[in-house]
Structure 1
């Protein structure tokens, strides 16, 4: 299936190539950006606009799927370069864009101060008057092209996905999981869920995936990474793995070495599935590609276990 030429994938170069995407949608000379990467990605975002022939004053919208820093950390800095743009964000995420103090503190707790400086760059506030709060079902008008913002909790309570009826596609943020091109096989994309800290909720996540399938999407545009089709198979893979991951979490919960147990069991789960999928990389290489996600998924499952117990 050919991709829509009005949709441009932007590699934000977070961590490595082909890992973290933002998207540019162009309609009748006007543009919307969906997610923006970190503060360090702003030059790449501006270069992508120039390559597409889009002046900065033709960008009407920056829509955030959620406010985790790899998706939204550069929003404040980027908005300074986009004089006519307004920022669209979930109601729970809006306060963190206007005042990112708590967002920075929470990320620092997870990643550490040195990593925040190294990987995320400047995290600036967005003026409140430029922020549009997207309730469930909010519609963004891009020169007559409607982008629907649908609340999709599970990865985070402040998550939304963006439905583009023109291309019959979703911009999925992290709700529809992670799929890296290195792991593609003759069967197509390999996919896994992301349960990263701190708001993973398995049942809402499965419900969000089902809600997305209700629109019979032809493709999904993932932040991590890129456009995928074969949507029904990938959705089934995600739901199966969400259940397997929560089973793993419960089995590891009572262990004194819970985190090590989670990491080992998740690694085994993904390697088994990668082998069955025919991934072209060996186990060591697959583990290397997924190392950060395995660590974050283990942390997210631990947060879920502890919150569920409360």
Structure 2
């Protein structure tokens, strides 16, 4: 049985490539401590068979899984939660309080994603969302600590990418499970300098100044690594944080420069501007992939980032009550 999709990161942490969109794009994490287990993020419904197979490969009984903890309820992180919970009889779902209702009754979540992606893409990439019984759901709180075996996991509220986002601190490995708060880092862009990273402004709750504060809060723990959903563990956190926040500033500047354009023109200008921004940053990082390859690898992110920036700009332009 090939298990190239299952990576042992040490310290009882395993990355499971959910195969969403492409390989090495979307990770869920399986933690094993003192005979107990937890999943952090799940990918979509189509990633759930790999999560269950990971338990089998590692010899972990399904009833040893105590927690399923999505970082937030965007579907590439939590679309498979309901289906996975059906297969884990003793697990509790631990979700940000703003996300609870969306996983107990995913109808509104599905409709929101449908508006962004369309029916064909929803069927191809996400499938039918399964509800989770309310009695199996616990809302997280800021600075909450839960135990996995005897190992503490600490949760903090980290808005900026989404208001329903929390991150999870693992003291054992001194790493944060960051969802999308600490950005995106694809292994295709690694060079001798290490990983490259970029912020994500996916619709619909991108708030750059709030995101900056969340990133700074993560850094206060002096993390040795970050476990990204997109994709896998990265180290050299101070360098990556500086790169991430610098690109966030450039993203904001690009958005403000395009703010007054008509919607369709603004969207195209944002997409072109983001590609140029990422291309220049990657060149400085020593990445020599050609522009067409960069555009292909970043196509989905550029499209969604442009949409999210536009929504943020429109929200900013509204008169405040």
* Structure 1 length-normalised TM: 0.98
Determine the structure 2 residue equivalent to 1:278: 286
Q: Any conservation in 2 of the 1:248–1:262 contact (CA below 8 Å)?
A: yes
Determine the structure 2 residue equivalent to 1:157: 163
Distance 1:62 1:188 in 2: 31
Q: Any conservation in 2 of the 1:41–1:74 contact (CA below 8 Å)?
A: yes
1:35 is matched with which residue: 15, 38, 41? Answer: 41
Distance 1:118 1:196 in 2: 20
Are residues 1:306 and 2:280 paired? no
Count how many residue pairs are aligned between Structure 1 and Structure 2. 309
Determine the structure 2 residue equivalent to 1:268: 276
Determine the structure 2 residue equivalent to 1:293: 301
Determine the structure 1 residue equivalent to 2:3: none
Distance 1:138 1:115 in 2: 36
Distance 2:288 2:190 in 1: 7
Q: Any conservation in 2 of the 1:190–1:274 contact (CA below 8 Å)?
A: yes
Q: Any conservation in 2 of the 1:170–1:219 contact (CA below 8 Å)?
A: yes
Q: 1:186 is paired with a residue of what secondary structure?
A: coil
Q: Any conservation in 2 of the 1:185–1:280 contact (CA below 8 Å)?
A: no
Distance 2:216 2:292 in 1: 33
Moved more, 18-27 or 277-286: 277-286
Q: Any conservation in 2 of the 1:172–1:221 contact (CA below 8 Å)?
A: yes
Determine the structure 1 residue equivalent to 2:141: 135
Moved more, 221-230 or 276-285: 276-285
* 5+ residue gaps, structure 2: 1-7
Are residues 1:182 and 2:194 paired? no
> How far 1:160 sits from its partner (Å)?
0.4
Q: Any conservation in 2 of the 1:219–1:231 contact (CA below 8 Å)?
A: yes
Q: 1:80 is paired with a residue of what secondary structure?
A: helix
> How far 1:280 sits from its partner (Å)?
3.9
Q: 2:88 is paired with a residue of what secondary structure?
A: coil
Q: Any conservation in 2 of the 1:59–1:85 contact (CA below 8 Å)?
A: yes
Distance 2:40 2:230 in 1: 13
CA distances 1:186-218 after superposition (whole Å, capped 9, x unpaired): 100011000000000001100000000000000
1:47 is matched with which residue: 44, 53, 76? Answer: 53
Q: 2:146 is paired with a residue of what secondary structure?
A: strand
CA distances 1:246-294 after superposition (whole Å, capped 9, x unpaired): 1100111112310000000010000000111011422211111111101
Distance 1:5 1:212 in 2: 20
Q: 1:182 is paired with a residue of what secondary structure?
A: helix
Q: Any conservation in 1 of the 2:31–2:38 contact (CA below 8 Å)?
A: yes
Q: Any conservation in 2 of the 1:177–1:192 contact (CA below 8 Å)?
A: yes
Distance 1:244 1:222 in 2: 22
Distance 1:223 1:3 in 2: 14
> How far 1:98 sits from its partner (Å)?
0.4
Q: Any conservation in 2 of the 1:38–1:69 contact (CA below 8 Å)?
A: yes
> How far 1:309 sits from its partner (Å)?
1.2
Q: Any conservation in 1 of the 2:205–2:308 contact (CA below 8 Å)?
A: yes
> How far 1:147 sits from its partner (Å)?
0.5
Distance 2:300 2:114 in 1: 16
Determine the structure 2 residue equivalent to 1:214: 220
* 5+ residue gaps, structure 1: none
Are residues 1:94 and 2:100 paired? yes
Determine the structure 1 residue equivalent to 2:66: 60
Determine the structure 2 residue equivalent to 1:144: 150
Distance 2:10 2:170 in 1: 11
CA distances 1:148-196 after superposition (whole Å, capped 9, x unpaired): 1110000000000000011000000000000000000010001100000
